[in-house]
Amino acid sequence: MERYKSQIAMIEIDGQKKIKNSSVLIVGLGGLGCPVALQLALAGIGTLGIMDDDVVNLTNLHRQILYNEGDISKNKVEIATKNLTKFNSNININSYYERLNEKNCIHLIKKYDYIIDASDNFQTKYLLNDACFFEKKPLISGSVFQFEGRLMTFMNNHKENLCLRCIQPFVNTNTQSCSDGGIIGMVTGIIGSMQAMEIIKLILERGENSINTLTQFNALNNTIKKFKLHKDENCELCGNNPTLKNVKMMNMNCTKNDIELILKMDDFLKNPYEYCVVDVRTKEERIMDGIIDGDFWLQLDLLYQNPQELEKFQDKNIVIYCHAGVRSLAATQFLKENGFKKVQSLDGGIKLYNSKKFTQN
């Protein structure tokens, strides 16, 4: 216990024992997974599961802190296991050099107390969300893009808590990855450390977690914003009448229809008054990030519950917007499935809108 002396000063011996007796599975050993794994190993987590099917690439090294130039082309879990053991030889590490899929996810998740989503693709995120829901396991999910990061904790042991599908029932297949859109390494380190801290707080039952709350970090202005979210009673996974009964890998093929659902920002700005603009963000987001003049506000969860609110605009060209274009595309797909014909998602959301308006001024 000597190595944890400074930690024990705050959490006492019993707290350190709780950490030692806990097990965590980390899915993804990239920019998020590396700092999560390192922080939890240093904290003394008893059993750490690490999972990734990739090898180290030169472009990984500016943000994936468990690897160096000598590790290029070697598999990540092997290198990570060796390096984590050097940091703390007293913990148990289980390595999985494979990709999470519908055949292995339930079997793996059953073995661990807590699950970390450090993945970089929607297929894995939804698979983890669904599997953790069925197995009633806490899921701490992180995501990063450019100068921003997001964090949410999904507690699946209480029926009043939401899941990923509540806030994003459809996938935006056009969303850029970190490699396409860029990422600053320090952002992954911050969000990864926040994910690790979420685990420690859950284990110790101390502090406040991001349950039913989206925590958003912006590195450019050092702000952390929190948005309270609500469970969707019509969610296909955790709602009152669920239709999803088991885990299944999502089809992520981008179709022509996906592209047609998106209205490019430059096209919108040519004549914004042609459209009926609908904002699906929260009240807090509208206050913090501003709005598009003349918009109609219908928060996403309320839109899912009552799409009829927009029927009065059916004869107009409806454009949906959110922060960056993810939730708005999900809403657009939902409205299309509910009979709305002239509806599109605004590419880039209020974030790109503000940027464009600033440039114009």
Q: Where are the domains of the chain?
A: 2-228, 256-360
Q: Tell whether domain 2-228 is in CATH 3.40.50.720.
A: yes
| Residue 322 annotated in active site | yes
pLDDT of residue 83: 95
Q: Is the pLDDT at 255 greater than 50, yes or no?
A: no
Same fold, 2-228 and 256-360: no
Q: Is the pLDDT at 253 greater than 50, yes or no?
A: no
pLDDT of residue 145: 82
Tens-digit pLDDT profile for residues 6-62: 998 998 999 999 999 999 999 999 999 999 999 999 999 999 999 998 888 888 899
CB 327 within 8 A of CB 299: no
Helix boundaries (H) for 207-299? 256-260, 265-270, 283-289
Q: Is the pLDDT at 256 greater than 50, yes or no?
A: no
Closest CA to 98 of 49, 47, 57, 54: 54
Query: How many CB atoms lie under 10 A from the CB of residue 86?
Result: 9
Catalytic entry in 105, 132, 238, 322 = 322
CB 36 within 8 A of CB 196: yes
Tens-digit pLDDT profile for residues 51-67: 998 888 888 899 999 99
Strand 47-51 relative to strand 23-27, pairing? parallel
pLDDT of residue 205: 93
CATH fold of 256-360: Oxidized Rhodanese; domain 1 (3.40.250)
Closest CA to 154 of 215, 65, 220: 215
Catalytic entry in 178, 235, 238, 276 = 178
Tens-digit pLDDT profile for residues 129-170: 999 999 999 999 999 888 889 999 999 888 889 999 888 776
Q: Over the chain, what is the mean pLDDT?
A: 88
CB 83 within 8 A of CB 203: no
Closest CA to 130 of 105, 161, 104: 105
